[in-house]
Amino acid sequence: MTTANRQITLAHRPEGQLAQSCFSRSDDNPAPTPGEGEALGKVEWLSIDPTIRMWMAMDTYLPAIEIGAPIRSAGLVRVVESDNPALAVGTLVFATPGWQEYAIVTERDQVVPEGVDPTAALSIFGITGITAYFGLLDIGRPTEGETVVVSGAAGSTGSIVGQIAKIKGCRVVGIAGSDDKCSWLTNELGFDAAINYRSENVAAKLRETCPDGIDVYFDNVGGDILEAAIGHLALRGRVVMCGAISQYNDSAPSPGPRNLSALISKRGRMEGFIVLDYLKRSGEAIQDLATWLAEGRLTFTVDVMEGLDSAPDALMKLFDGGNTGKMMVRL
Ligand SMILES: NC(=O)c1ccc[n+]([C@@H]2O[C@H](COP(=O)([O-])OP(=O)(O)OC[C@H]3O[C@@H](n4cnc5c(N)ncnc54)[C@H](OP(=O)(O)O)[C@@H]3O)[C@@H](O)[C@H]2O)c1
């Protein structure tokens, strides 16, 4: 008897805000059959990332998801059928299963070490931690005493960036979308200040909270907030281009930032990066992150929704700020 494999697939490319109509559900696909050296896994967790919205719409650093294909997504998969000893039945694997119940895993996927909590594997020791660590330290290169500003600060990546910057002896200002998130950043995570971009004038608050200018701006959102940060860069300031979530739903390219020439007089640098380029070095990040966690200097927060059917809502939550910390779905 074949095993049924429920899937959520791409119905049509999104234009503007994501909507339920972008997604189709199908219950009648058979689970895939593993080839030689491959294993069949049951998907247990899905990582919900803003970049999925980009993959649904267009070719980026990866080809666009095909219409009718399961929504591409990283996740954790438990091996249920295998004749490969490196992928024994019961092994938990970090893979890119997509939004479905069963997926093929191969030796190119990463085995999650015994004893690592799945939520940690999918956040602090996964894309989130590696993005925050290398984006801040390799691209931003903050030094002790410098001022670091991070947007999307109460989200998955931003909340880790700010804490690493504190560990490195920096002054840290977070930008987030609610007073509750701002209080969480300053009261729980040790940020020095936080700005609510929905209710406060970001440019004015940056001048107030960063009197010597911004040495490193870690950008998760793009748009007006990026422009405000460029306008207040310190001499030799660095802008880490991690993401631009404020623009992912735009149907036409956005015009800003209008003040890029400020980089000339400030001798500033803007540099983008994609975490995939750092996967070979992930061990360096994981070692430091694990040490800081064990020492109680770093915490991570997850936002879990239940069931495959909740995945579209979980993705949409990222765009209205409904999440705090790493958004994930448990199947
Ligand atoms: N370069 C890479 O390799 C890489 C890797 C991972 C992630 N990223 C990027 O990093 C960013 C953060 O990703 P994440 O996974 O950590 O997601 P996340 O920060 O956990 O969630 C997204 C957050 O963005 C904020 N947001 C949504 N719309 C916004 C808007 N119009 N203006 C300002 N803030 C807005 C929301 O918080 P508020 O309540 O504060 O609005 C939301 O919680 C994304 O841009 C993502 O694409 C890049």
- Let me know whether 16 and 155 are in one domain: no
Whether the per-residue pLDDT at 120 is higher than 70: the answer is yes
Q: Is the pLDDT of residue 138 over 90?
A: yes
Asked if 145 and 246 sit in the same domain, the reply is yes
- Centroid of ligand 1 to alpha carbon of 103 (angstroms): 27
Task: Fill in the DSSP letter of residue 140.
Answer: I
- Together in a domain, 95 and 149: no
Ligand 1 atom closest to Cα of residue 303: 20
Tell me the pLDDT tens digit for each residue of 179-210: 999 999 999 999 999 999 999 999 999 999 99
Residues 148 and 268 in one domain: yes
Contact status, residue 331 vs residue 307, Cβ threshold 8 Å: yes
Pocket, ligand 1, Cβ cutoff 6 A: 49-51, 127, 131, 152, 154-158, 176-178, 181, 220-221, 242-246, 273-275, 318-319, 321, 323, 327
> Tell me, what's the pLDDT at 196?
98
The answer to the question of residue 48 being in a domain is yes
Tell which one of 72, 130, 134, 157 to mutate to probe ligand 1, the residue whose CB is within 8 A of the most ligand atoms.
Answer: 157
Owner of token pair 């931690």 = 129
Tell me: do 227 and 145 sit in the same domain.
Answer: yes
Number of domains in the chain: 2
In a domain, 82, yes or no: yes
Pairwise CA distance, residues 129 & 271, whole Å: 19
Co-location of 145 and 237 in the same domain: yes
For the CA of 54, the closest atom of ligand 1 is 47
Task: Pick the atom of ligand 1 nearest to 244's CA.
Answer: 45
Residues 168-201 as b/e (b if ≥16 CB within 10 A, e otherwise) read: bebbbbbbbbeeebbebbeeebebbbbbbbeebe
- Return the CATH number at 12: 3.90.180.10
d(CA 42, CA 16): 33
In this prediction, residue 260 has a pLDDT band, given cuts at 50, 70 and 90, of very high
pTM: 0.96
DSSP code of residue 112: P
Rounded CA gap, 329 and 331, in Å?
Answer: 6
Residues 85 and 135 in one domain: no
Residues 116 and 133 in one domain: no
Measure the CA–CA gap between 46 and 44, rounded to whole angstroms: 7
Is residue 103 pLDDT above 80, yes or no?
A: yes
- d(C-alpha 83, C-alpha 39), whole Å: 7
Q: What per-residue confidence (pLDDT) applies to 3? A: 87
| 231 and 309 part of one domain | no
Tell whether the model's pLDDT for residue 1 goes beyond 70.
no
pLDDT for position 83: 87
User: Are 209 and 264 members of one domain?
Assistant: yes
Three-state DSSP state, 229: helix
pLDDT tens digits, residue range 288-300? Answer: 999 999 999 999 9
285 lies in some domain:
no
Over the chain, what is the mean pLDDT?
96
DSSP assignment of 156-176, as one string?
A: HHHHHHHHHHHHTT-EEEEEE
The domain in which residue 184 lies consists of 127-276
One domain for residues 96 and 172: no
pLDDT digits (tens, 9 = 90+) for 13-61: 999 999 999 999 998 899 999 999 999 999 999 999 999 999 999 999 9
Counting ligand 1 atoms within 8 A of each CB, the residue from 134, 220, 315 with the most, and so the one to mutate, is 220
Give the separation between CA 93 and CA 109, rounded to whole angstroms. Answer: 7
Q: Could you identify the atom of ligand 1 that is nearest to the CA of residue 153?
A: 40
Say yes or no: 83 and 206 in one domain.
Answer: no
